[in-house]
Amino acid sequence: MAKILIVDDEIGIRELLSEILRDEGYDVVLAENAATAKALRAESQPDLILLDIWMPEVDGITLLKDWAAHGQLNAPVLMMSGHATIDTAVEATRIGAMDFLEKPIGMQRLLQTVKKSLERGSRKLHSTLSLAAFTRPGLLRDLKRRFDQLLSNNPMLLLRSPPSGIVELVALTAQIPDKPVINLAHTLEPLDLDKLASLTDGLLWCEELTRLNRLQQKNLLFAAERLTKYRLRLVAGTTHDITSLIAHGWEEQEVNLLFQSVLGLPSLRELKDEIPDIATHLLNFLAAEEGVPPRRFSTGALNALRHFPWVSGYSGLRSAVKSLAVAALDEEISADEVRQILNPAGEGTGLAEQLAPELIQQPLREAREAFERIYFEHHLVQVEGNMVRLAEKTGLERTHLYRKLKDLGLR
């Protein structure tokens, strides 16, 4: 029978849940805090974890982030709380929790959720959508061939991406099924040799090098020097060039190491005709792996997704597809529902529509870059590419203007 780890600081709740689950034949272990939970998770290797959000010292969200950052979410996690906000539940799901149980937890609700989560968890864990899903002739299949070719010659690969790129979709293509995956931007502790040994055959990745703090940069470089020994792969993305990365705190020799093997990525705008295929794969993936309701897109809905500018890139598309799947009233998602999600205020299709809601969710630096790209693209069209008129329009000196356009990846 499955083994379940219950993590809750309230002894009464631990014992009640334990009694219910043991009566159903489950093997149960109990932890009263995050430190004990860490030790028991490593020792007992549970098939499912019930994790309370509000605990003293280290709360459940922080513990969940720690497990996710170290590639240790190898069992379904159900979050529990009696007074969590919707935002907290959404954050937990985004980090990797499978479901959320509101206290007081009814027995039927508990048993049904545990059974469903164990069934889903018995399938391949940490399944990810990657370029491997796109087998039809097209830009994505060609991109995968180049990606595989480069990675076969060097286990470390840098992805040069525009701000609205598909780094996550490409980077996770390097994952070997059922092997560890670590997002370096989520690591909170220094990597050591024991940790690298536990990640053998795994993937380390990050979406944007400039988001790494100095500790995370050192973790990346520490792993980069030992990739072959531990059969690791390292895939990092960036929208910046060497000069800009140095300005963001990287040292020149470090950046030169990263730029040894480079693959340029298209933006979602350049993949306009591939967006319906990406959205359909995302919809099916989310239904199979994250338990969202099974849906399908109407032809009109796919066309609406195709023509949206997607300044927030792949993460914005993924978020929109998940929202559509959850919010749709019928099995088929309509074009009107897509427009309501992407353009809730009913604005036109000009610059205002390009300022997608997902832009607000990005870190300030990335949001500013995305806005600047929209701004200059808009005015480049207005002045028909005339740099003199563009300088006048934007109020920038031309040398600075050229540098700005280059940094944004605009011609």
Determine the distance from the C-alpha atom of residue 34 to the mean position of all C-alpha atoms in its chain, rounded to a whole number. 24
Hey, what amino acid is at 164? S
| Residues in the chain, total | 411
For residues 214-223, average pLDDT? 94
Structure tokens at 375: 């701004």
CA-nearest of 318, 309, 222 to 279 is 318
For residues 221-235, average pLDDT? 95
How far is 3 from 27, CA to CA, in rounded Å?
A: 5
The mean of the pLDDT values for the chain is: 84
Structure tokens at 317: 């598309």
For residues 209-235, average pLDDT? 94
Using DSSP's 3-state secondary structure scheme, residue 206 falls into strand
Statement: residue 42 has pLDDT above 80: no
How far is 164 from 53, CA to CA, in rounded Å?
A: 34
Decide if 147 contacts 167 (C-beta within 8 A): no
Q: What is the pLDDT of residues 137-156, one digit of tens each?
A: 889 999 999 999 999 999 99
pTM of the model: 0.58
For residue 104, whether the previous peptide bond is cis, meaning omega lies within 30 degrees of 0, is yes
| Burial (0-12, 13-18, 19+ Cβ within 10 Å), 181 | buried
For residue 276, whether the previous peptide bond is cis, meaning omega lies within 30 degrees of 0, is no
Q: Count of alpha carbons within 13 Å of 311, Cβ hemisphere only?
A: 26
Q: Which residues pair with 8 in a beta bridge?
A: none
Decide if 333 contacts 341 (C-beta within 8 A): no
Residue 139 to residues 134, 150, 159, Cα–Cα distance (Å):
9, 17, 16
More confident residue, 370 or 224: 224
Q: What is the pLDDT of residues 333-344, one digit of tens each?
A: 999 999 888 875
CA-nearest of 29, 49, 27, 23 to 113 is 49
pLDDT at residue 224, rounded to an integer? 95
Using DSSP's 3-state secondary structure scheme, residue 260 falls into coil
Statement: residue 346 has pLDDT above 70: no
pLDDT at residue 44, rounded to an integer? 80
More confident residue, 28 or 1: 28
More confident residue, 43 or 225: 225
For residues 172-188, average pLDDT? 85
For tokens 């989520």, what's the residue? 186
Statement: residue 7 has pLDDT above 50: yes
Determine the distance from the C-alpha atom of residue 292 to the mean position of all C-alpha atoms in its chain, rounded to a whole number. 17
Statement: residue 403 has pLDDT above 50: yes
Statement: residue 357 has pLDDT above 50: no
Decide if 67 contacts 44 (C-beta within 8 A): no
Which contacts qualify for 144-153: CB closer than 8 Å, 24 or more apart? Answer: 144/173, 146/263, 147/173, 147/174, 147/263, 148/173, 150/261, 150/263, 151/233, 151/235, 153/261
**pLDDT band at residue 217 under the 50/70/90 scheme:** very high
pLDDT at residue 92, rounded to an integer? 80
How far is 77 from 8, CA to CA, in rounded Å?
A: 13
pLDDT at residue 71, rounded to an integer? 55
List the single range of 4-13, 141-150, 300-309, 343-352 with lowest mean pLDDT.
343-352
Statement: residue 323 has pLDDT above 80: yes
For residues 356-377, average pLDDT? 69
Decide if 101 contacts 80 (C-beta within 8 A): yes
Statement: residue 231 has pLDDT above 60: yes
Statement: residue 371 has pLDDT above 60: yes
CA-nearest of 153, 96, 100, 89 to 128 is 96
pLDDT at residue 14, rounded to an integer? 92
Hey, what amino acid is at 102? E
List the single range of 3-7, 41-45, 275-279 with lowest mean pLDDT.
41-45
How far is 45 from 40, CA to CA, in rounded Å?
A: 8
Please, what's the largest Cα pairwise distance for the chain? 78
| Burial (0-12, 13-18, 19+ Cβ within 10 Å), 272 | middle
How far is 47 from 14, CA to CA, in rounded Å?
A: 17
How far is 181 from 97, CA to CA, in rounded Å?
A: 16
pLDDT at residue 151, rounded to an integer? 93
Q: Which domains does the chain have, with CATH numbers?
A: 3-121 (3.40.50.2300), 131-264 (3.40.50.300), 278-354 (1.10.8.60), 363-407 (1.10.10.60)
Using DSSP's 3-state secondary structure scheme, residue 52 falls into strand
**pLDDT band at residue 265 under the 50/70/90 scheme:** very high
For residues 93-106, average pLDDT? 83
How far is 281 from 286, CA to CA, in rounded Å?
A: 9
